[in-house]
Amino acid sequence: MGGILSSLNTSYTGLQANQLMVDVTGNNISNASDEFYSRQRVISSPEKPILGRNNVPIGRGVDVESVQRIHNEFVFERYSKAAQDFNFANTEFDHLREASSYFPDVDGVGIYNDIKEYFNAWKDIAKNPKDPAQKQVLAEKTLILTNNIHTTRHKLEVLQQKASEDLEVRIKEVNELGAQIAKLNREIREMEDKYINKRANTLRDRRDELEFKLRELIGADIYKGKLSSQSRVNGDAVDFDEDYVLNIGRGFNIVDNGDFHPLIIQKDENSNLLNRVYIQGYDFKKTEITDRLNMGKIGALIDLYNDGHGDTKTGKLQNYINLLDGFAKGLIEATNSIYSQSANHEMQSATLDFDSNTAFRDTLYNIKEGTFDLIAYNTDGKEVAKKTIKITDITTMKDVVNQINANTDDNSDNNTQNDFDDHFKAYYDDHAKQFIIQPRRPADGFYVAIKDHGTNFAGAFSVNSFFEGRDAKTIQLNYRYRKNATDIRSHIAPVAGNFEIANMMQQLQYDPVEFYTKRSEISEMKLNEFYQYLVGRVATETQSAQTTLDTKKAVLETAKKEHLGISQVSVDEEMVNLIKFQGGYSANAKVITTIDRMIDTLLGIKQ
């Protein structure tokens, strides 16, 4: 039943409600500059009325139900997704832009120009094969070319290592953020009570910020169950979840409500010491997820530096390294295949990595079926013997040595004393792992050369080579010519005026060459064309990354604007509310003052 004390309570509830509204509004204004602070509103409704005289309902004031934040989970999800896509594109573009600077497309600069200078030096030797100064120039141009190839590859390796090291830092950040999110989930569960609308708004804002930063780093799918609509504060507001799962790599939970499963990084299992990522489950067993991470900054780093370890995806930087290795390998083998035709007193291969009984098909060397000729010349440069060696799919180095040393009638003249095996003998030492052809009687001064017919034997094994090495990291001018450039040979047969090798070398720039990064991936192009393909790929992927970045940036700005339009604090709006709530507070205070005077009047009448 109503009365003067009931009226006092009615105004008192209004005074408290407006006081709370002023407090919440002040808190909004104080945090207006915080992007992840969601503005809050006091949710209130009239108290259930009581029945007065003649059953007339009398209001009992205002009931404060809760303080809710204005937040749309679906809009925030779009904003977070846009941020993780932007960070992926931004990270990738930064690294590709750096990589593209290693391949300058400027006249007089870079590997492309060095290739032209190298072939021009061979052209000059063809014009004057006896001039030792021209051979010195060729050696210098060759060293410039090989050093530039080394330097470019090294820069790519350094960029690859930096990306791997950056990943290590980012994984540590992810673990810190994930642990904090799990802790917040436990605190939210302890603090909130949906039956009395008790909300942990500040903790939820903090969790949103951590989620956002984590998704920028690694990308994630977040599942929140039993979301609630908050249409009383905002038509678009959805919040107040119960179940929580944070999932990365399309299937691996690192946060499951209050539990956190850390990520582990290891590099010692990788030959290039590049980081691999694992997740540790409830049973403390590690599962590798490197290839599953393809979002956020971490996804971009892996997409850049991954070297294909364990048949995993090969990253862009590793692809560039592989292409540069393929270019160097094609140059080495094509050059050595030509240069091996230049007659020399003896021949030897590079140090190989297989035994004499290993079939060529089971090695990593690009040996094909076919034949090659071994030609012996006398001191006058006249061909005195020729032996044809056959290579099949199952041929071993021991088979080659046996074919060379076999007592055969190479000249078909029924004379067993003038065949190739009478002048030279072949060896393959399983300890030194070198193929060697030496004269049986060095005093005779005979020469030996190889003419290949499609096997790539001399080119693959660097027999009688001009270049040493197998890739862009190891390519080098033969030590003999680095020591003494005048030993460079321009002839096939050792006779004066023969400069066929020099002519064939300069012609190489116009001929198709085999390039391959793997034995199953072979393409034929000119040297300049393949290098331009490599440079063009770097430039194209960099430009594509920049275009993607511009698009993702525009999407991010739009999503951010949409999110802030819902949750961001408007100081002007809050100031208007502050005046309104202050007026309500003053009015209720006035009512309480009036009732106080009425009580004094009653007490005076009673006295």
In a domain, 47, yes or no: yes
What pLDDT score was predicted for residue 232?
59
Residues 129, 56 within the same domain:
no
Q: Of the candidates 69, 89, 120, which is a domain's last residue? A: 69
User: From the CB of residue 214, how many other CB atoms can be counted at a distance below 10 Å?
Assistant: 27
- Residues 126 and 502 sit within 8 Å (Cβ to Cβ): yes
What pLDDT score was predicted for residue 572?
92
> Which residue is listed with tokens 């005077």?
597
In a domain, 413, yes or no: no
Q: How far is CA 108 from the centre of its chain?
A: 31
User: From the CB of residue 273, how many other CB atoms can be counted at a distance below 10 Å?
Assistant: 10
In a domain, 606, yes or no: no
In a domain, 256, yes or no: yes
- Which residue type occupies 595? I
- Residues 531 and 102 sit within 8 Å (Cβ to Cβ): no
Counting runs of H as helices and runs of E as strands, what totals does the chain give? 14, 23
Integer Cα distance of 136 and 482 in angstroms: 9
Look at residue 462 and give its three-state secondary structure: coil
H, E, C per residue of 360-402: HHHCCCCCCCEEEEEEEECCCCCEEEEEEEEECCCCEHHHHHH
Domain assignment of residue 1, given as a range: 1-69
Per DSSP, helices labelled H in 406-487 are: 420-423, 457-461, 479-483
What pLDDT score was predicted for residue 240?
64
**Strand pairing of 383-391 and 424-429?**
unpaired
- Residues 438 and 346 sit within 8 Å (Cβ to Cβ): yes
Residues 64, 91 within the same domain:
no
**pTM for this structure?**
0.87
Q: What would the two tokens of residue 71 be?
A: 């937040």
Residues 83, 55 within the same domain:
no
| Four-CA torsion 11, 16, 21, 25, nearest 10 degrees | 130
Residues 127, 205 within the same domain:
yes
Which residue ranges of the chain lie beneath pLDDT 70?
1-3, 52-56, 106-108, 194-197, 226-241, 518-520, 606-607
Look at residue 36 and give its three-state secondary structure: coil
What pLDDT score was predicted for residue 263?
93
What pLDDT score was predicted for residue 180?
96
Q: Of the candidates 44, 69, 94, which is a domain's last residue? A: 69
Which residues make Cβ contacts (< 8 Å) with residue 500, sequence separation at least 6?
Answer: 490, 491, 492
Q: pLDDT, tens digit, for every residue of 270-316?
A: 778 899 999 987 777 888 898 899 999 999 999 999 988 777 888 99
Integer Cα distance of 341 and 328 in angstroms: 20
Strand partners, 436: 348, 427
Residues 113, 147 within the same domain:
yes
| Four-CA torsion 174, 177, 180, 186, nearest 10 degrees | -80
- Residues 72 and 88 sit within 8 Å (Cβ to Cβ): no
Residues 95, 54 within the same domain:
no
> Which residue is listed with tokens 């399983």?
430
What pLDDT score was predicted for residue 141?
96
In a domain, 58, yes or no: yes
Q: pLDDT, tens digit, for every residue of 580-600?
A: 989 988 888 888 888 888 888
Integer Cα distance of 563 and 569 in angstroms: 11
- Residues 487 and 480 sit within 8 Å (Cβ to Cβ): yes
Residues 219, 247 within the same domain:
yes
Residues 77, 4 within the same domain:
no
Residue 106 is classified by DSSP as -
Which residues make Cβ contacts (< 8 Å) with residue 602, sequence separation at least 6?
Answer: 4
Integer Cα distance of 508 and 116 in angstroms: 12
In a domain, 330, yes or no: no
Integer Cα distance of 458 and 466 in angstroms: 11
Residues 170, 113 within the same domain:
yes
In a domain, 471, yes or no: no
Q: Of the candidates 69, 96, 114, which is a domain's last residue? A: 69
In a domain, 501, yes or no: no
> Could you give the number of structural domains in the chain?
2
- Residues 418 and 429 sit within 8 Å (Cβ to Cβ): no
Strand partners, 425: 438
Residues 126, 195 within the same domain:
yes
- Residues 393 and 359 sit within 8 Å (Cβ to Cβ): yes
Give one DSSP letter per residue of 279-298, joined into a string.
EE-TT--EEE-GGG--SHHH
Residues 46, 171 within the same domain:
no
Residues 51, 194 within the same domain:
no
